[in-house]
Chains A and B, each alone.
Chain A
């Protein structure tokens, strides 16, 4: 019997720990498919964050380093500077990248480190059970904004892709989503281009992936996908912010 669908080689054959309906699994798969298609698994080093995906070093088949909270871009800098022939990606959530790790991501980007960041934005802290994230939307209820996010109390959500795209060292920045098939296909294209930008030694590349957290949003998976589409995308518009015409 012919195999028509299988796990990408860059992903180990394990069941993942993510909650039902969480889109981390899809994003892992997209990264792994890209690594397979580019034939770079043997030269790729992934850097895991702190957050729900802290142990994705167990899932990927390439060499992996687990970093302290928010520090993945600094760790990735060290790995890449040590062996510039390797391809380095960081995989980070919104708490990791946009709160505690703001300095590291901004400076890795502005230095133009030849690394690729996969930034998973689900507008909430997942692992620690649903606290306000830098990317939590206005009026969104979380365990630390129980009456909704209010600007006068919590300030405003950060648009990371827009911010990073202002930096000269960041040469490719795109925001995508994985809430339906069409968008999943687009997300994979963006991730592939981000890796190709690194392979061409052009500079820092980042793909922000809008993602769901049904558990902490208090929704079933279908509702969560719809909530992402109806609430996140209007505030976090999809599309390219930098390097649209970059030939790689």
Chain B
């Protein structure tokens, strides 16, 4: 059994990255994720790593681009407005097929918004916040324990597919303290990085990392290559938690912290004779369409509960594909959905 500690979500992300072999962190302060930078500033020197406080989120993501090009495990973290600034580097990294981990501890928006929790960056994360046809794997942990495990896994997925992986939590998850049990040894999957720019040593042809393909045939071929990779990721990496869905009257769908609120609603509803199921996408991209297909005809209706004005619900509707009604309940601005609100909505649906 590993070490069990009481830790803040943001610090767990940072420690998980270190345990995953990440020795390069580039970031810029923004609430509510700055504890990641605080932790890295102390921890990286202890493990012979590099912490750089960049002059902007734009610079930070481009430092990530450089370090990933050089073949090391690298991470940056930010919160919503900062993630918007990183979109340039995200698109370029996706095209150049650079493996890196990006953490977004989401706060409410749009604009500077507020510093309270939200899930309003779902579209930006899964539909491509930057330009061009690209995808990145988006992991949505719901507890501090999952923050740890998924951050480690994020580095493995990034390396395996030469892709960006985003760990997307919200301000609740980043700021709350919970018990976390660390493993004695992490599963670090080593991959060949002979594509990286580390110097030719005059022993090989030079390596080039680029995202520009001026010839249309070449650019299209590169796009096809990227799309084939995304298909493979869809096949191999889709993750979902399906809970209490057999014979459910209503299946609620929620990701991250909201999934935990729904689990409490399931207990309360059961006492009132209503069977509620939960489909909690763990990978927001790739989206677990198969879970919705399996249960598409089980409940009377689906209900998507989110801390936004209705984003994931669009993917739920595509997956359910008209077979059942899909309802939505959400709060914005840093307001959190309550168990009572969800229960009332469920009752309204099955009435």
Give chain A's interface residues, CB within 8 Å of chain B.
41-45, 47-48, 54-55, 57-58, 60-68, 71, 74-83, 85-86, 103-104, 106-107, 111
Contact = CB atoms under 8 A, between A and B. Distances in A.
Contact of B70 (A42, A57, A82, A104): A82
Contacts of A71: 58-59, 62, 65, 88-89
A66 B209 contact: yes
Given A55-B212, A63-B197, A78 B206 contact: no
A42 B201 contact: yes
Interface in B190-227: 197-203, 206-212, 214
B337 interface: no
Interface stretch (B49-57, B138-146, B157-165, B298-306): B49-57
B72 interface: yes
B201 A81 contact: no
A79 B67 contact: yes
A106 B58 CA distance: 14
A44 B199 contact: yes
Contact of A79 (B52, B60, B66, B214): B66
B202 A42 contact: yes
Given A43-B201, A63-B208, A83 B52 contact: no
Contacts of B200: 41-42, 61-63
A217 B97 CA distance: 38
B72 A82 contact: yes
A231 to B, nearest CB: 33
Nearest to B59: A74
Given A41-B200, A62-B200, A75-B65, A82 B24 contact: yes
A66 B62 contact: no
Given A64-B209, A103-B58, 17 more contacts: A45-B199, A55-B212, A63-B198, A63-B208, A65-B208, A66-B211, A71-B59, A71-B62, A71-B89, A74-B58, A74-B60, A75-B63, A76-B66, A78-B64, A81-B66, A83-B199, A103-B56
7 contacts: A42-B203, A63-B199, A63-B206, A71-B62, A71-B65, A74-B58, A82-B50
Contact of B210 (A44, A57, A77, A83): A57
A78 B68 contact: yes
Nearest to B63: A78
B255 interface: no
A64 B66 CA distance: 11
Interface in B27-59: 50, 52, 54-56, 58-59
A85 B201 CA distance: 12
A107 B53 CA distance: 11
A65 B209 contact: yes
Contact of A78 (B56, B69, B88): B69
A106 B24 CA distance: 22
A61 B54 CA distance: 30
A82 B208 contact: no
Contact of A66 (B71, B74, B208): B208
A239 B202 CA distance: 34
Contact of A62 (B60, B206, B211): B206
B92 interface: yes
Contacts of B52: 77, 81, 111
Contacts of A104: 55, 58-59, 62
Given A42-B203, A45-B197, A68-B88, A77 B63 contact: yes
Interface of B: 24, 26, 50, 52, 54-56, 58-60, 62-72, 74, 88-89, 92, 96, 197-203, 206-212, 214
Contacts of A78: 24, 26, 62-70, 74
Contacts of A60: 206
Contacts of B70: 45, 78-79, 82-83, 86
Q: Which of A58, A71, A104 has the most CB of B within 10 A?
A: A71
A6 B74 CA distance: 41
A186 B170 CA distance: 56
A80 B52 CA distance: 12
Nearest to A77: B63
A185 B73 CA distance: 42
Nearest to B207: A63
Contacts of B56: 103
B66 A86 contact: no
Given A65-B209, A66-B209, A42 B199 contact: yes
Contacts of B62: 67-68, 71, 74-75, 78, 104
B199 A65 contact: no
B199 to A, nearest CB: 4
A208 to B, nearest CB: 21
B202 A79 contact: no
A43 B211 CA distance: 23
B198 A81 contact: no
Contacts of A48: 210
A81 B63 contact: yes
